Amino acid sequence: MYGLGNSVQAFEHELTLYFGKPSCSLCVTGTASQQSMLRVVMSKKPGRPAALHPTSHMVWLDCLTDGAILEAGFSEKCAENLGMDGVMCGEAHRVMTFLDVEACLGQEPRPALLAVELGQRMNGGASMCWDDLLKTRALCSTLDVWLHMDGARLWEAAPGYGRTCAEIASQFDSVYVSFYKGLGAISGAALLGPSDFIASSKTWLKRMGTVAFSCAPVALSCRECFRKHSSEFPDRLIRLREFVEALSTDPFINNVVRFDPPVPQSCLVHCYVHGEPDALEVAHARVQHAHTKLWGRLRGCGHTLEQGHGGEQYFEWSMGPQNASLPLEALVDGWKLIAASVASSCAKEHAERD
């Protein structure tokens, strides 16, 4: 009860071994888990801001819609959703780099904390490159800046590095992971780090009212999904790359579709489709009737303007057990229908102008 129990503690210990961290705290939500991290770290270094990528979901609490608004509203959203000052590290349309980190940590007052998201949801699951991560670790140690991993999608991102979660986690002072993203649990998150840090974070979880009388259902779901699915992600990444390559190299389909990043770095990628949302949804409805479902929902223009593309809508393509089994031929056939519909719409528009 109240987060205490042999099964819960046993699973927390299992996670400390998996990630190579001294201590672990399970939590019912990722938002509360990361808020507790922020409260502990920032309270030790008052008057200093937190450094985050402009797209950080700690700040935005939502998916990417229009990338152009992110940087403009960053400071306001930090105050609204985090209750503290934040500074941007990097640019919204691309992943964080070591050059971004150097510039950000050179500011005064120096940030107390740097959060690095692996992989960055609003940038198509891309992640900071490994060499830059090693340099970032060294600089944060030199400057006494707490380095935190926002690992909501670490399961999906780790295969892109070709490294274990423990190897990646070793570069960070603290690590947050989610169990419903990728793994499919009903809810749940974990925060890992030094024992005194985790003890303090648990106090903050109690203050925030997020320690339920019983968290057994959530903990059980997290444990079983972790044990069942955590080894699947390398194969999922291989499958997603196969799909993306097939669509990108088709001379008809690639006129209307592009991917960000062009080669998936994780089991998540952003797919940009040329066209207006209403027309695309009509075409997609036909494809679903004849072939298969290609996307859940279109989310907006994303980062199209920043990258020199226009007239596009994007969706998140996350590779899981269900869509990984989709025959490649069915996928290609479905996208050929989308491409034909877009081509027909473009031809009609040109004819009307003439």
Residues 34-63: b if buried by 16+ CB within 10 A, e if exposed: bbbbbbbbbeebeebbbbbbbbbbbbbeee
Helices within 170-315 (DSSP H only): 195-207, 216-229, 233-248, 277-290
Q: What does the block give as tokens for 119? A: 């992989």
Residue 63 scores a pLDDT above 50: yes
Sign of CA dihedral 262, 267, 269, 273: positive
The mean pLDDT value for 57-80 works out to 74
Where does the pLDDT of residue 2 fall: very low under 50, low under 70, confident under 90, or very high at 90 and above?
Answer: very low
Name the superfamily (CATH) of residues 232-352. Aspartate Aminotransferase, domain 1 (3.90.1150.10)
Least confident of 54-63, 116-125, 312-321: 54-63
- Say what the pLDDT of residue 68 is: 61
Q: What own/partner pairs with CB < 8 Å and gap ≥ 24 does 42-49 have?
A: 42/84, 42/112, 42/113, 44/112, 45/112, 45/113, 47/109, 48/109, 48/110, 48/111, 48/112, 49/84, 49/85, 49/86, 49/87, 49/109, 49/111, 49/112
The mean pLDDT value for 184-212 works out to 90
Q: Which CATH number fits domain 6-229: 2.130.10.10, 1.10.357.10, 3.40.640.10, 3.40.50.20?
A: 3.40.640.10
- Say what the pLDDT of residue 308 is: 64
Mean pLDDT of the chain: 90
Q: What angle do CA 186, 189, 191 make, to 5 degrees?
A: 170
The mean pLDDT value for 230-237 works out to 96
List the chain domain ranges: 6-229, 232-352
